[in-house]
Amino acid sequence: MIVVEGVRFTYSGGVEALRDVSLTVKDGEFVAIMGQNGAGKTTLVKHFNGLLKPSKGTVRIDGVETTKTSIAKLSRTVGFVFQNPDHQLFSETVEEEIAFALKNFGFEEEVIQKQITWALNLLSLTQYRKTSPFMLSGGERKRVALASVLAWDPQILIMDEPTIGQDHEQKEKLRQFIVQLQAQEKTVVIVTHDVEFVAECNPRVVLMKEGKIVADGKGKDILTNLEALAQSSIVLPQIAQIFTQLAPLGLSRNVIDIYEAKDILLQAWGRRRT
Amino acid sequence: MFVAAILFGSILPLTALFLMQFPFVFLARVQRQWLRSLRGALFLAVFIFFTNFIFSFINAGYVIIASNVEFAVFFLTTSPDLLGLALEESHVPYEFSFAFTTAVRFVPVLAEEAQTIMDAQKARGLELEKGNFMKRIRNYIPVLIPLIVSAIRRSLELAEAMESRAWGATKKRTNLYGLTLHKGDFVLLGITMAILVVAFYVLLFVPVPTLTKLFL
């Protein structure tokens, strides 16, 4: 469980990136943190594994305050996948890349081999086991970066902009993959601008603006809340846009899911025909 | 002054040069940043002190401090664009002046990137401060490789982006701004030249006492 209480954070340059943020993420929850560039999203999640320590307030992971432990210890529980895979890939083969963290955490050789096989399989990278990560495409490198974090099976997974540079098929795989993690009661936190991806996943959405949380609730409610979205310069998901325009016909505006939209439209269609 | 700092190998003139920088630093109002770079240089110098101690060349570390902080004054007060422009107006080929300004300008970008990479690797359990001396150096491999790879990748992209904006299309370039020398510039030039001349004179003709001779 992640408990953030009254956190303020000021960068050494003097920029105040977080202004009194409080947030609780329960075990097994799926949260999307959204907001404009510079709203403080990445700064906030960097507090979850201790990369940044609050200037004021506290961040606790499973009851342990992040200021009282090391990043390495926290990372064992909190896996953090960075936005740009090129900021972490350095090994000669994909296999070694994934083994890096496992060695750092002091896993046994057998366990390392087992976890590598498992992680490669999970992200359909098995064929690249002995390939250099630098030879892979952008999307594949992103998956290697993800695999290299998932390999140690952290309880909490944080992903910064996981959909950037991914084609639609990969996004869909990522979505299914998160569903799978949810089934294992893992906590997933994503930082993203991708409104359509969030609409498809329908997680809890936390909206940030200028270092503060301005809205927090079900994806379906937040992503159809015109005022809250306008405040953080986020556009409605396409389905919500259609239903906003159809509102004068007496249809619900509160729709972001394709299948729900289809049902509502079919119902309305049927009413008109009879 | 940087040249002067390199000229001398012993402690007393270097200290004098070091103290001489204070008025410049305060005039330029960059005290805080200057102190920060002094701290950075000190770290490097302590390292060099230590290694050089074995070969008993204690002074080299001091050269680094005195010269490094002078570099800091220069780069804190001069924008890379103006520097490039100055080079260009002194008839240095544009290719060279451009390469120079680009290199200078990308230093902060690289520093920021290095920080991100360190964060990314720490998040994978890398502990940079762990282990003995050799192990600590090895700890930096996972930081250096991504840094170099992305710097190369970035420079290739930059070259493509520049070529698609007609870089080098005409031999004779025109500039939006010109540089002119003001009274203050000549004064500063005079002062620095004087310091350099005095430094040469001291080096060649004045026997500089060493610390040991001074105190024993």
Asked whether residue A187 is assigned to any structural domain, the reply reads yes
Residues A253, A124, single domain; the answer is no
User: Bridge partners of A34?
Assistant: A207
Residue in A72, A75, A87 closest to B146 by CB: A87
Pick the range with the lowest mean pLDDT from A209-218, B37-46, B188-197: B37-46
Structure confidence at residue A64 (pLDDT): 93
A240 is written with which tokens?
A: 């919500």
Q: What is the pLDDT of residue A151?
A: 93
Alpha-carbon span A33 to A39, nearest angstrom? 10
Q: Is residue A170 part of a domain?
A: no
If one counts the domains in chain A, the total is: 3
Q: Kindly report the CATH number assigned to the domain that includes residue A31.
A: 3.40.50.300
Q: Which residue of B has its CA nearest to A82?
A: B120
Strands A56-61 and A64-65: what pairing? antiparallel
Determine, for residues B146 and A86 on separate chains, whether the beta-carbon distance falls below 8 Å: yes
- Provide mean pLDDT across the span B69-91: 76
pLDDT value at B58 more than 60: no
Q: A259 and A128 in one domain?
A: no
Contact yes or no for A216/A56 (Cβ under 8 A): no
Question: Does pLDDT of B168 surpass 90?
Answer: no
One domain, residues A198 and A221: yes
Q: How confident is the model at residue B87 (pLDDT cuts 50, 70, 90)?
A: confident
Average pLDDT over residues B139-148: 90
Can you tell me the distance from the alpha carbon of A232 to that of A33, in angstroms, rounded to the nearest whole number?
A: 12
Residues A83, A46, single domain; the answer is no
Question: Could you tell me the two tokens for A266?
Answer: 């079919």
Do residue A213 and residue A262 come from a single domain? no
Question: Is a pLDDT exceeding 60 seen at residue B35?
Answer: yes
| Cross-chain residue pair A72–B113, CB shorter than 8 Å | no
Flag whether A118 is in a domain.
yes
Predicted local distance difference test score (pLDDT) of residue A257:
87
The residue of chain A with its CA nearest to that of B126 is A104
Q: Please state the three-class secondary structure of chain B as a single string.
A: CHHHHHHCCCHHHHHHHHHHHHHHHHHCCCHHHHHHHHHHHHHHHHHHHHHHHHHCCCHHHHHHHHHHHHHHHHHHHCCHHHHHHHHHHCCCCHHHHHHHHHHHHHHHHHHHHHHHHHHHHHCCCCCCCCCCHHHHHHHCHHHHHHHHHHHHHHHHHHHHHHHCCCCCCCCCCCCCCCCCCCHHHHHHHHHHHHHHHHHHHHHHHCCCCCHHHHHC
More confident residue, B72 or B197: B197
At residue A126, the pLDDT reads 93
Residues A89 and A42 both lie in one domain: no
User: Which of A90, A100, A148, A150 to mutate: most B Cβ within 10 Å?
Assistant: A90
pLDDT of res. A50 = 93
Q: Is the pTM of this model over 0.90?
A: no
Q: Under an 8 A CB cutoff, do A87 and B120 touch?
A: yes
What is the reported pLDDT for B4? 58
Domain ranges, residue A93: 71-154
Task: Note whether A148 and A79 are same-domain residues.
Answer: yes
pLDDT score for A60: 95
Nearest to A219 by CA among A205, A237, A200, A234: A205
User: Which positions in chain A have a beta carbon within 8 angstroms of at least one beta carbon in chain B?
Assistant: 46, 49, 51, 70-72, 75-76, 79-80, 82, 84, 86-90, 100-101, 104-105, 134, 148-149, 152
Picking from B109, B113, B115, B124 by the largest number of A CB atoms within 10 A of its own CB, the best residue to mutate is B124
Q: Is the pLDDT of residue B55 over 60?
A: no
Q: Are residues A77 and A149 in the same domain?
A: yes
* Interface contact flag, B124 A101, Cβ < 8 Å: yes
pLDDT by residue, tens only, chain A of 274 residues: 999 999 999 998 888 999 999 999 999 999 999 999 889 999 999 999 999 999 999 999 999 999 999 999 999 999 999 999 999 899 999 999 999 999 999 999 999 999 999 999 988 899 999 999 999 988 899 999 999 999 999 999 999 999 988 888 888 988 998 999 999 999 999 999 999 999 999 999 999 999 999 999 999 899 998 888 888 888 899 999 999 898 888 888 888 888 889 998 888 888 776 6
| Backbone φ/ψ region at B89: left (φ over 0), alpha (ψ -120 to 50), beta | alpha
Token readout for A72 is: 């390495």
Do A232 and A242 have their domain in common? Answer: no
H helix and E strand count, chain B: 10, 0
CB neighbours of A87 closer than 8 A, spacing ≥ 6? B113, B116, B117, B120, B146, B150
For chains A and B, count residue pairs whose Cβ atoms are closer than 8 Å: 63
Q: Evaluate whether residue A263 is within a structural domain.
A: yes
**Residue closest to B69 by CA, chosen among B37, B44, B43:** B37
Residues A242, A230 within the same domain: no
Looking up tokens 């249809």, which residue turns up? A251
Mutate one of A42, A61, A80, A86 to test the B interface: name it (highest B CB count within 10 A). Answer: A86
Q: Which of A22-26, A217-221, B50-54, B71-75 has the lowest mean pLDDT?
A: B50-54
Looking at residue B2, its pLDDT comes to 57
Using only C-alpha atoms, chain A has a radius of gyration, in whole angstroms, of 20
* Residue A111 belongs to a domain: yes
Same domain, residue pair A217 and A244: no
In angstroms, rounded to a whole number, what is the distance separating the alpha carbons of residues A215 and A88? 33
- pLDDT > 70 fraction of chain B, expressed in percent and rounded: 70
Which residues in chain A have their CB less than 8 angstroms from residue B126's CB?
A: 72, 100, 104
* B149: nearest CB among A46, A134, A149: A134
**Cβ-defined contact of A71 to B122 (cutoff 8 Å):** yes
Rounded to two decimals, the ipTM of the complex is 0.85
Is A172 within a domain? no
Is A168 among the domain residues?
no
Is the per-residue pLDDT at B6 higher than 70? Answer: no
A189 and A231 housed in the same domain: yes
CA distance A103 to B129: 16
